[in-house]
């Protein structure tokens, strides 16, 4: 009897390095014109100024980017996957490549000859809310031609971060090629201000090319103008599966006529950076192992709840042994 092959996920996103710093109060956000809880694109000079102002000996540095966080989490869970992005020919780019390769992810990384690897200044408020100032660097140079049919072979899902929608041609080329190759396309809306700035484009993209949509309640409201439950129903009319994340209140999922509400796990939040990315990692783990919708949501809630208890978007490697034990309890 042939062993069933677990579906594989190709993540496509901005390959970045996260610099995570706790801020004393939110006045620094006002000083730099950063809307609390949002992601704002900044240039190299502004990124350096934010770094110089907020970096301390308590700051942390790790591979990042929304979908990159998800793929790293999936790799730690033993999922099959790969990652596509662009990095610079520098130390941060080497850090990114080495980290992903050692976790067993197939890398589809191109190189910039003119820009450094991108970085995110993730500023964490005292209540654990995170605000991000992103210098895309090399990541912004991804082009539609970076996609090719050959690299899609062996994958069953393409997971794309909403931050890429600033490059309409890029994301359109990628999702259309994936659909033509028979992949399911999943999209995370990423940030409410990204949704607001690209609303018409996103609506067209989702209706015509996206199968799975992840959104938090702010992103769902920016997309639909509605509160979470009503937003869930509207989004689900436009795709195969809709997920609306509600933070500590859990999440809502809808596929066809089936609606599932999943709670959160008790967690002492230290930093919400990467909570949504961790949720997606857990959800894809469940999805690719063919678990039912509720089980997928419970695993997603577990991983998300664990991540908010640590600084940064990723759990320490040593934590995954215990996480896998808790997943085993969920699926019994």
Q: Which domain holds residue 105?
A: 8-14+64-114+141-330
215 domain residue, yes or no: yes
pLDDT at 4: 62
Asked whether the predicted pLDDT for residue 223 surpasses 50, the reply is yes
81: domain CATH number is: 3.40.1190.20
193 domain residue, yes or no: yes
Rounded Cα–Cα distance for residues 319 and 145 (Å)? 39
pLDDT at 39: 83
pLDDT at 3: 52
pLDDT, average across residues 306-320: 88
pLDDT at 158: 98
- Residue 260: strand, helix, or coil: strand
* Rounded to 5°, angle at Cα 252 from 249 and 258: 150
pLDDT at 20: 87
125 domain residue, yes or no: no
Beta strands in 114-182 (DSSP E): 117-124, 130-137, 157-161
Asked whether the predicted pLDDT for residue 128 surpasses 90, the reply is no
Overall domain count for the chain: 1
pLDDT tens digits, one per residue of 99-119: 999 999 999 999 999 999 999
* DSSP character at residue 105: P
pLDDT at 229: 97
135 domain residue, yes or no: no
120 domain residue, yes or no: no
55 domain residue, yes or no: no
151 domain residue, yes or no: yes
53 domain residue, yes or no: no
pLDDT tens digits, one per residue of 266-285: 888 887 878 999 999 999 99
Q: Of 98, 136, 101, 95, give the one whose Cα is nearest residue 118.
A: 136
């Amino acid at each position: 009897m042939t062993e069933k092959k677990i579906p594989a996920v190709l993540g496509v996103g901005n390959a970045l390095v996260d610099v995570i710093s706790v801020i004393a109060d939110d006045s620094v956000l006002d000083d730099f014109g950063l809307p609390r809880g949002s992601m704002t694109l900044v240039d190299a000079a502004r990124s350096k100024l934010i770094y110089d102002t907020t970096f301390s000996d308590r700051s942390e540095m790790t591979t990042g980017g929304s979908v990159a966080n998800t793929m790293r989490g999936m790799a730690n869970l033993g999922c099959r996957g790969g990652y596509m992005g662009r990095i610079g020919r520098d130390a941060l780019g080497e850090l990114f490549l080495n980290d992903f390769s050692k976790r067993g992810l197939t890398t589809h990384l191109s190189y910039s000859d003119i820009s450094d690897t991108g970085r995110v200044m993730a500023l964490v408020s005292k209540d654990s809310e995170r605000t991000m100032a992103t210098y895309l660097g090399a990541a912004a140079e991804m082009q539609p031609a970076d996609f090719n049919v050959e690299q899609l072979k062996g994958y069953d899902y393409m997971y794309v971060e909403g931050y890429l929608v600033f490059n309409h041609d890029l994301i359109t080329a990628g999702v259309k090629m994936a659909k033509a190759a028979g992949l399911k396309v999943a999209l995370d809306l990423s940030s409410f201000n990204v949704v607001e700035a690209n609303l018409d484009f996103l609506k067209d993209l989702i209706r015509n090319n996206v199968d799975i949509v992840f959104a938090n309640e702010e992103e769902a409201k920016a997309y639909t103008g509605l509160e979470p439950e009503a937003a869930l129903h509207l989004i689900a009319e436009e795709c195969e599966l809709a997920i609306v994340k509600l933070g500590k209140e859990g999440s809502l999922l809808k596929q066809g006529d089936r609606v599932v509400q999943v709670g959160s796990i008790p967690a002492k939040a230290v930093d919400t950076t990467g909570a949504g990315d961790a949720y997606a990692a857990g959800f894809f783990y469940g999805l690719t192992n063919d678990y039912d919708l509720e089980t997928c949501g419970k695993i997603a809630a577990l991983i998300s709840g664990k991540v908010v208890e640590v600084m940064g978007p990723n759990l320490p490697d040593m934590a995954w042994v215990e996480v896998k034990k808790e997943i085993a309890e969920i699926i019994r």
